Homo-oligomer: A and B are copies of this chain.
Amino acid sequence: MTEWDKNDETLIRALRQGNPRAIARAITRVENPGIERLRLLQRLFEETSVSAYRIGITGAPGAGKSSLVQQLIPCLAARGFKVGVLAVDPTSPFSGGAILGDRIRMQEQIEETGAYMRSLASRGSVGGLSRGVNAAIHVLEAAGFDIALIETVGSGQLQVDVRFVADTVLLTLVPEAGDIVQAMKAGIIEIADVYVVNKADREGAQRMRTDLRLALELGAHKPDWNPPIALTEAANGKGIEELTDFILEHRAYLDNSGAWETQRLQHLRWEMESLAQEGIEARAKQAIDHLFEQETLLKIARREENPYPHLQKLWEQAGANG
């Protein structure tokens, strides 16, 4: 318990001055479920004037997402943006896929450019994770960051989830036989707005771009946006300027076409639904603990008590809020 936990106003003041420890503390507090999160988010909302532009970076482990992020940060900073990075990838060197010394060095390099980097616990449900990511973005927004880079692992459910949060989704691939097929199978080939063929010095990079273009044309894609494909070598910084152009072109497209508003409202709706459900589910669990305590369950199992009138009452009570 620090002074910041006792007094939100001192925390928010330090946060708005860009104090990295205050940002970290605030993210930890809003990452955790509960009514306290809502209260702090309410205050952060009041302190925020502009929403951050959210860039999701996804792709399989080993595709070089973290190196891309490291290269993108100075590039975006040079164009006048203040960049915050949230790593929700357990395989990311930022969050644990590197030895501690390397991690600290990376973090220092990032913070030298005025950027902020933080890894988020990927424990818990997918819904819980996306609530945590949204909440962390709001901390960055209150601290004056105008870009949030979200690095997520491209496997399982998580990489689809970034689509629920990010304005622009980058899919990172490497020239390897079967990588496109894997991405198609996982259903992620069509969620991206910008594609990156990283490690483009490897054999087959040009061929991969052609194949990917074909795969995108085969699938019905976004009506007015033809997703660009960047060839990069993140390890030595090649192609990053072009990739930055592509990202900002997508941002301009969203702004000019009106797609931004539609998409942002949808994301906002998901965010609100998810937060509402969290509270309601917690209360449901309480109600059930109360209604169906061990003794009642035993009676039901022995057919001495009918559970359905209780359930109907619970449904009706919940309905009284509707």
Contacts and interface: CB of A to CB of B under 8 A. Distances in A.
Interface in A293-322: 294, 297-298, 300-301, 303, 306-309, 311-312, 314-315, 317-319, 321-322
Given A283-B322, A308-B41, A297 B269 contact: yes
Chain A's interface: helix, strand, loop or mixed, by majority? Answer: helix
B303 A49 contact: yes
Interface residues of A, number: 52
Interface stretch (A100-108, A196-204, A251-259, A271-279): A271-279
A318 B280 contact: yes
B276 A287 contact: yes
Contacts of A279: 311, 314-315, 318-319
A186 interface: no
A32 interface: no
A16 to B, nearest CB: 16
A311 B35 CA distance: 9
B45 A301 contact: no
A48 interface: yes
B48 A315 contact: no
B292 A269 contact: yes
Interface string A160-183: 000000000000000000000000
